[in-house]
Amino acid sequence: HRVLCIDMDPQANLSLLFNIEVKEEEFSIYHLLINSVRELKALHSSALTSEVITATNTGVDLLPSSQDLSGFELSVSGISGSRPLILKKFIEKSGLDEIYDFIIIDCPPTLGLLVVNTLCASGGVMVPFRPDEFSRKGLNHLYDVLDDIEDMGVTQIPEVLAHIPNLVDARRKQEMMDLEVIKEHLNKEWDGDFKMVSPFFNRSQLVKSQSQRKSVFDYQSKEFTPLQNQFNELATIMKEWSHGAS
């Protein structure tokens, strides 16, 4: 499969995990998005999609982020076109959806225009969350945004493929209790028709791979096998959904 990752988070954590850090004079997804809007001609740069796409040593291509992306909402605030569809239209016009089998978009944890663009550009969404009260409220806000997108009628809303309890500390009784509360809440909201994968526990293996900027699949040790199986489960969910949607 040909896979493209798009980093829509100004913190650029996904890009950093690929050991890619956009320098001040270099281009990122921000410049490509701005270039795709005719009304922003005064802000256009010489950035080309083919040159911004970066091949990583994992076989996955990346459209990296940069701090410039934090100014995206302000940059497009005055345009008359549909601001929520900028990313979707960019992907379609550049033909990326024809080149790649899968496009995976990472977005920030705040429900601003970057996330709305990501949701409008996506066919499916995976929802990671922490098992606490703040995340329960955050999930409600996410579903409100999806309802708003549907009400706007500008595009089809993405299908929620899975909820992913993330960085769960099994030693903390309160977290496990909060996780059960969120499960019950989702079960009620979705009438039992929702998918939740097994929790990703805050294990040393996950911390190690992130700190070394490596994939969990780069490690041969058996201690990484459970984590690798969990990520394989997410990949299987995406593949099965993709085959059903095509």
Q: Please state the rounded mean pLDDT for residues 13-23.
A: 93
Of 80-84, 221-225, 230-234, 239-243, the range with the highest mean pLDDT is: 230-234
* pLDDT surpassing 90 at residue 208: no
Distance in angstroms (rounded) separating the CA atoms of residues 105 and 120: 11
pTM: 0.92
CA distance 35 to 18: 25
Locus of tokens 């040790």: 221
Angle at which helix 173-189 crosses helix 133-152, to 10 degrees, equals: 20
- How far apart are the C-alpha atoms of 5 and 64, rounded to whole Å? 8
Phi-psi region of 56 (alpha: psi -120 to 50; beta: other; left: phi over 0): beta
Question: Which residues have CB under 8 Å from 54's CB, separation 6+?
Answer: 18, 20, 61, 62, 63, 64
Alpha-helical segments (H) within the chain: 13-17, 29-35, 49-52, 72-75, 86-93, 96-99, 113-121, 133-152, 173-189, 204-211, 225-245
Q: Considering just the CA atoms, what is the radius of gyration of the chain in Å?
A: 19
Answer yes or no: is pLDDT of 211 > 90.
Answer: no
In sign, the C-alpha dihedral spanning 8, 14, 19, 23 is positive
| Pairwise CA distance, residues 33 & 86, whole Å | 7
78-121 per-position pLDDT tens digit: 998 899 999 999 999 999 999 999 999 999 988 899 999 999 99
Q: How far apart are the first and last CA of the chain?
A: 15
Segment 42-89, tens digit of pLDDT = 999 999 999 999 999 889 999 999 999 999 999 999 998 899 999 999
Q: Using the predicted structure, report yes or no on whether residue 20 has a pLDDT greater than 90.
A: yes
Q: Which long-range contacts (CB under 8 A, 24 or more apart) does 88-94 make?
A: 88/117, 88/120, 88/121, 88/155, 89/36, 90/32, 90/33, 90/36, 91/121, 93/36, 94/32, 94/36, 94/49
Place of tokens 């089998």: 101
Question: How do beta strands 54-55 and 124-129 pair?
Answer: unpaired
Q: Helix-strand-coil percent breakdown of the chain, rounded to 5?
A: 50, 15, 35
Distance between CA atoms of 239 and 245, rounded to whole angstroms?
10
